[in-house]
Structure 1
Amino acid sequence: MDLKSLKNIPASFALAKRALLYCLIISTLISIGSLVWAFVTTNNIKNTAFVLTKDGQAAMMQGISLNEVDEFRKPEIINHIKMFHESFWEIDQFNYKRRIDRALYLSGRSGKQLFKTLQANGHLAKLVTENLTQKIDIDSIKVNDKVTPYKAKFYGKLRVSRTDQKVESVNEFRANFVLHNVARTNENPHGLLIENYLLKSKPISIPK
């Protein structure tokens, strides 16, 4: 072995060290990049679901964070109000128990008090004995979703008719109430509860 070859050995070791250092840095960057990609992908998957459309096709549905829930709350509030009023007021002698029971899951103490009032004044008894059918027309729903509990007003018309006749009475219908956020259940899918329900209408008139 000549002297020139011996002089090249330290340089070769230095080059090997640099090569190993570069490989270590590149491997570390690749590992960190993979972890970041996996974290982002996992979060996106957690916020994504697939729903089956009426045509039998799978459609992707993007979720929202808990901080964004209030921004999308208003459509749920309005739908909850519709569900309550249609279940509670669109009744006849055959379905009123089942439909009012469903409505009571969407309201709190004031909903139960309203039910007791209709029982006490004989309205539900007339529904059965006089073959009455009720239908509610929604004119407008106003909601203030900037404060909690949410404040709301309902405007519409309550139509009462006899099953065996074409005669009906039309009652102006107006109600004020608030809605509280509660846990979502199968019976209360919007996670809202109607309280302080104040019916600001004349007594319900019955067709003669």
Structure 2
Amino acid sequence: MEKTKREIYRSLAKNNATSRASIIGLVLVSFAAMLIVYLMHINHDRYVYGLSKDKSLLPLELIEKEDLEDVYEKGHISHFISLFYTVNQFNYKEQIEKSFWLIDDSGKRLYEDYTKRGHYNNLIQSSSDQYVKEINIVTNDENNFKAAILVAINKPNQKDARLYKIIVEGSFEKTAADYPKNPYGYMIYNFRETQYSEITE
């Protein structure tokens, strides 16, 4: 009888220890879960989120919003430059018209200046293609930018294209995106060329 009692007490003690260990484990798991939720809360505005197929909220990419905005800003500027400076005798009016959706009246003034200088007439008469080879863009916190553009003009039966270095400056502001006219959702202001020189080397 005494032996049976001792075995019962041992069993109860063992079960009690197991229960305590389980409770401690649950407490640790709960604490870890609360810590994860807290860290997600304090960092929630640093990431871009979207809905998955099962409607769960998941991070699209672990890219901070600031970095993503920088990509969009430079993407918009690059998009305008590519449209405005990549032209030929057949598409230049269409390209320029598309570029006007991305910029204020400074774009039209620059186009009028090129027209007065006979730039587009020269492209038409010589059947030349003008295209952008490189774009390097730098922006700052005041929404100003500066870009170095390498433009090539290629004439038929010409061995090597003539290369031009163009330095441009301006500013930009965020606006409503309008695909396909303004896919990045920005507007360029006070765009101007500060340097235009042929590379002769």
Shared fold per TM-score greater than 0.5: yes
Which stretches in structure 1 are left out of the alignment for 5+ residues? 1-46, 52-59
1:62 Cα deviation from its structure 2 partner: 4.1
C-alpha distance 189-200 of structure 1, shift in aligned 2 (>3 A): same
1:192 alignment partner in structure 2: 186
**Which of structure 1's runs of 4+ aligned residues deviate more than 6 A?**
none
Q: Which amino acid is the alignment partner of residue 202 of structure 1?
A: Y
Q: Within 2, Cα distance between the matches of 1:161 and 1:122? A: 17
Q: Within 1, Cα distance between the matches of 2:51 and 2:89? A: 42
**Aligned counterpart in structure 1 of residue 163 of structure 2, from 154, 167, 170:** 170
CA-based RMSD of the aligned residues comes to 3.0
> Is 1:48 aligned with 2:42?
no
1:107 alignment partner in structure 2: 103
Deviations 1:61-103 (A, max 9, x none): 7479xxx865631100111111111111011111111111111
2:174 alignment partner in structure 1: 181
Deviations 1:127-161 (A, max 9, x none): 111111111122521011x22xx111111211111
Q: Within 1, Cα distance between the matches of 2:52 and 2:91? A: 35
**Contact 1:134 1:161 (8 Å CA) reproduced:** yes
Deviations 1:20-55 (A, max 9, x none): xxxxxxxxxxxxxxxxxxxxxxxxxxx52459xxxx
Q: Which structure 2 residues correspond to residues 1-208 of structure 1 after superposition, within 5 A?
A: 48-49=50-51, 62=59, 72-144=68-140, 146-147=141-142, 150-186=143-179, 187-202=181-196
Q: Which amino acid is the alignment partner of residue 154 of structure 2?
A: S
TM-score scaled by length of structure 1: 0.62
**Contact 2:167 2:196 (8 Å CA) reproduced:** no
Q: Which amino acid is the alignment partner of residue 188 of structure 1?
A: N
Q: Which amino acid is the alignment partner of residue 158 of structure 2?
A: Q
Which stretches in structure 2 are left out of the alignment for 5+ residues? 1-48
